[in-house]
Amino acid sequence: MSIISDIVGIIGVVMVITVYLLLQMEKVQADSISYLVVNLVGSLLIVVSLIYNWNLSSFIIEVLWAMISIFGLIRIAYKKKNSINNHH
């Protein structure tokens, strides 16, 4: 299982780093759904790999990264809901 968990973790790292690079290149916005979803999925894949290759500090940062991404997605959904309600 170690090789599979390593591959899963590497995919997560590639996702997080790629989307961060795209942010710095101004190809995505920090408050875009795509940016937040890629961050969330990437960090969760890293968490999965950490379950099999434990590292507490890495686990903590990835869980917090995922939570921040979820917070951003909820904020976007809340803004859209309020925007729709304010137009009626």
* Domain residue ranges in the chain: 2-86
How many whole angstroms separate alpha carbon 40 and alpha carbon 14? 13
How many whole angstroms separate alpha carbon 32 and alpha carbon 52? 31
Residue type at 72?
A: G
Q: 86 or 28: whose pLDDT is higher?
A: 28
pLDDT of res. 1: 72
The pLDDT of 51-64, averaged and rounded, is 97
How many whole angstroms separate alpha carbon 63 and alpha carbon 46? 9
